[in-house]
Amino acid sequence: MARKKIALVGGGQIGGIIALIAAQKELGNVLILDIPEVEGMVKGKALDIMQVRPHDGYDIKLEGTSDYSDLEGADVVIITAGVPRKPGMTREDLLGINLKIITNVANNVKKFAPDSFVIVVSNPLDAIVYSFYKVSGFPKNRVVGMAGALDNARFRTFIAMETGLSVQDVSCIVMGGHGPTMVPLTRLANVGGVPLTDLLSQDKIDAIVKRVQEAGTELVKLYGNGSAFFSPAAAIMEMAEAYLKDKKRVIPSTALCEGEYGADGYFIGVPAVIGAGGVEKVLEVNLSEEEEQMLGKTLEVVKKTVDETGL
Q: Residue 132's domain is classified under what CATH number?
A: 3.40.50.720
170 lies in the same domain as 282: yes
- pLDDT band of 91, cuts 50, 70, 90: low
Average pLDDT over residues 271-286: 98
17: Cβ contacts below 8 Å, ≥ 6 apart: 229, 230, 233, 234
Tally of domains in the chain = 2
CATH number of the domain to which 187 belongs: 3.90.110.10
172 lies in the same domain as 263: yes
- Residue 271 reports pLDDT greater than 90: yes
Which of 124, 145, 166 marks a domain boundary?
A: 145
- Residue 9 reports pLDDT greater than 80: yes
- Residue 192 reports pLDDT greater than 90: yes
- Residue 100's pLDDT is 93
Average pLDDT over residues 119-143: 95
84: Cβ contacts below 8 Å, ≥ 6 apart: 12, 226, 227
- Residue 87 reports pLDDT greater than 80: no
Please list the active-site residues: 178
Rounded Cα distance, 148 and 253, in Å: 5
Which of 113, 145, 177 marks a domain boundary?
A: 145
9: Cβ contacts below 8 Å, ≥ 6 apart: 33, 34, 71, 77, 78, 79, 80, 81, 105, 109
Average pLDDT over residues 272-285: 98
- Residue 255 reports pLDDT greater than 80: yes
106 lies in the same domain as 9: yes
226 lies in the same domain as 240: yes
Average pLDDT over residues 122-147: 96
Q: Return the closest-CA partner of residue 255 out of 156, 155, 142.
A: 142
The secondary structure of residue 179, as a DSSP letter, is S
The answer to whether 302 touches 257, Cβ cutoff 8 Å, is: no
- Residue 42's pLDDT is 98
214 lies in the same domain as 229: yes
- Residue 180's pLDDT is 86
140 lies in the same domain as 152: no
76 lies in the same domain as 166: no
Rounded Cα distance, 249 and 278, in Å: 11
Q: Is the pLDDT higher at 32 or at 95?
A: 32
Average pLDDT over residues 145-150: 97
- Residue 280 reports pLDDT greater than 70: yes
pLDDT digits 0-9 by tens, 172-186: 999 998 888 899 999
Rounded Cα distance, 290 and 239, in Å: 29
CB atoms inside a 10 Å sphere around CB 146: 30
Cis before 114 (ω within 30): no
- pLDDT band of 85, cuts 50, 70, 90: low
Which of 120, 145, 170 marks a domain boundary?
A: 145
Average pLDDT over residues 29-58: 97
Rounded Cα distance, 121 and 11, in Å: 13
- Residue 264 reports pLDDT greater than 80: yes
Alpha helix stretches (DSSP H) within the chain: 13-24, 39-50, 53-56, 95-112, 125-136, 148-163, 202-213, 215-223, 230-244, 289-309
- Residue 94 reports pLDDT greater than 90: no
User: What percent of the chain has pLDDT above 70?
Assistant: 98
Rounded Cα distance, 17 and 15, in Å: 6
pTM of the predicted protein model: 0.96
User: What percent of the chain has pLDDT above 90?
Assistant: 88
46 lies in the same domain as 160: no
Pairing status of strand 76-79 against strand 117-120: parallel
The answer to whether 274 touches 251, Cβ cutoff 8 Å, is: yes
Angle at 77 between CA 53 and CA 44, to 5 degrees: 40
170 lies in the same domain as 212: yes
134 lies in the same domain as 180: no
- Residue 128 reports pLDDT greater than 70: yes
The answer to whether 257 touches 282, Cβ cutoff 8 Å, is: yes
- Residue 226's pLDDT is 81
Rounded Cα distance, 242 and 249, in Å: 6
87 lies in the same domain as 157: no
Task: Give the structural domain span for 86.
Answer: 5-145
177 lies in the same domain as 113: no
Q: Return the closest-CA partner of residue 138 out of 119, 152, 153.
A: 119
| Helix (H) and strand (E) counts in the chain | 10, 14
pLDDT digits 0-9 by tens, 152-170: 999 999 999 999 999 999 9
- Residue 311's pLDDT is 87
Q: Kindly report the average pLDDT of the chain as a whole number.
A: 95
The answer to whether 269 touches 257, Cβ cutoff 8 Å, is: no
Average pLDDT over residues 97-111: 96
